[in-house]
């Protein structure tokens, strides 16, 4: 058999070290995360999720009038169609929310007149609708499974404000909205991660934007990607106390077991998003009277750094942040999707602009030279 020229370092290692495309959306340099030229520290301290979404899609920050128009467009597209809601209510809710969300986004395409139009103009309209409705879908799931009324978003309010309002049924305080909005910024994009790559692979076939988003949600659902934040909270609940946390770390190190939320494929000197979320975790767990959640997390974090040189990723502290906000644990990963859809759509748009279908090769390790025989002769 003819040899295939393969970069051997990537074989069975999740494409580690492989550069699969050129992109101008986001990039990791050392321990710095950049969105369109701006550091994550700068944007998280000064921007809003809506402004960052505009930046990711347009490669520039909006002026004041553009931002107000964009925010208004998102707001008016948050409401779910009554007929669509009727269909959503027929879906089983005894499933993981990410499985439900994957189906809901696929269904949403049937209520979108542009669903099969891949023109730049149609894609811009779909981008707004999908981003605006993602939070509404997640909160609708929570309402349906708890047999509560599905609330409509309030006019003039942000995605962060409306998400917390529709999730809990009461108007959120300004501090919670600001912190949650910052969380959305921190999760908006992250270069060519698993779900972004899934987005681009599906888009590269010139499939539609809804299909690309469904692919991304399916990838994000996995515990090695977006699902890790949920597993961190499960881990902390299982540990229970500071005393047990110390023993947990010792046992994990001895058994060489993976600690959820610790370590990252690209960052070796620390995830800058985790540093920001660590401060939020300390602040919010203190506020709700559960400082031990932060203290356990910090102990695990510090010990893993000292003993193994491994540092936390974005999932580690986001777990206690969302818990302190009163968000159900199994909604953590869907929140990731509420934010990351802005980045997925940016990757989708960029792929459409300079497309070639993804078609990698595999290194053959199977048998050769076999000859078929009838079943009774085998």
Tokens matching residue 27: 């990039």
> Which of 33, 8, 27 lies closest to 18, judged by CA?
8
Out of 301, 315, 323, 347, which one is annotated catalytic?
A: 315
264 catalytic per annotation: yes
323 catalytic per annotation: no
Out of 264, 271, 301, 347, which one is annotated catalytic?
A: 264
CB 163 within 8 A of CB 171: no
Which residues does the annotation mark as catalytic? 264, 315
């Amino acid at each position: 058999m003819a040899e295939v020229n393969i970069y051997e370092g990537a074989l069975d290692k999740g494409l580690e070290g492989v550069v699969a495309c050129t992109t101008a959306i986001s990039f990791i340099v050392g321990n710095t995360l950049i969105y369109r030229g701006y550091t994550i520290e700068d944007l998280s301290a000064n921007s809003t999720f809506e402004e960052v979404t505009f930046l990711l899609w347009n490669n520039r920050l909006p002026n004041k009038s553009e931002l107000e128009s964009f925010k208004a467009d998102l707001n008016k597209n948050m409401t779910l169609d009554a007929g669509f809601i009727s269909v959503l209510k027929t879906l089983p809710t005894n499933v993981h929310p990410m499985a439900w969300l994957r189906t809901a986004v696929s269904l949403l395409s049937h209520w979108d007149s542009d669903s099969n139009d891949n023109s730049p103009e149609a894609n811009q309209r779909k981008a707004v609708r999908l981003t605006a409705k993602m939070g509404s879908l997640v909160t609708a799931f929570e309402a349906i499974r708890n047999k509560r009324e599905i609330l409509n978003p309030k006019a003039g309010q942000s995605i962060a404000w409306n998400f917390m309002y529709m999730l809990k049924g009461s108007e959120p305080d300004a501090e919670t909205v600001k912190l949650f909005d910052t969380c959305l910024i921190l999760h908006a994009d992250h270069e060519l991660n698993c779900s972004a790559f899934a987005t681009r692979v599906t888009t590269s076939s010139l499939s539609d934007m809804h299909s690309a988003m469904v692919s991304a949600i399916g990838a994000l659902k996995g515990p090695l990607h977006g699902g890790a934040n949920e597993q961190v909270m499960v881990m902390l609940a299982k540990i229970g106390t500071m005393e047990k946390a110390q023993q947990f770390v010792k046992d994990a190190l001895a058994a060489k077991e993976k600690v959820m939320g610790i370590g990252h494929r690209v960052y070796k000197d620390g995830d800058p998003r985790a540093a920001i979320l660590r401060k939020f975790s300390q602040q919010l767990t203190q506020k709700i009277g559960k400082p031990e959640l932060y203290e356990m997390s910090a102990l695990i974090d510090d010990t893993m750094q000292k003993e193994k040189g491994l540092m936390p990723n974005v999932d580690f502290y986001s777990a206690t942040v969302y818990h302190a906000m009163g968000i159900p644990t199994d909604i953590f990963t869907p929140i990731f999707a509420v934010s990351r859809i802005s980045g997925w759509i940016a990757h989708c748009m960029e792929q459409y602009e300079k497309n070639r279908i993804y078609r990698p090769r595999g290194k053959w390790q199977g048998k050769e030279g076999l000859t078929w025989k009838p079943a009774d002769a085998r």
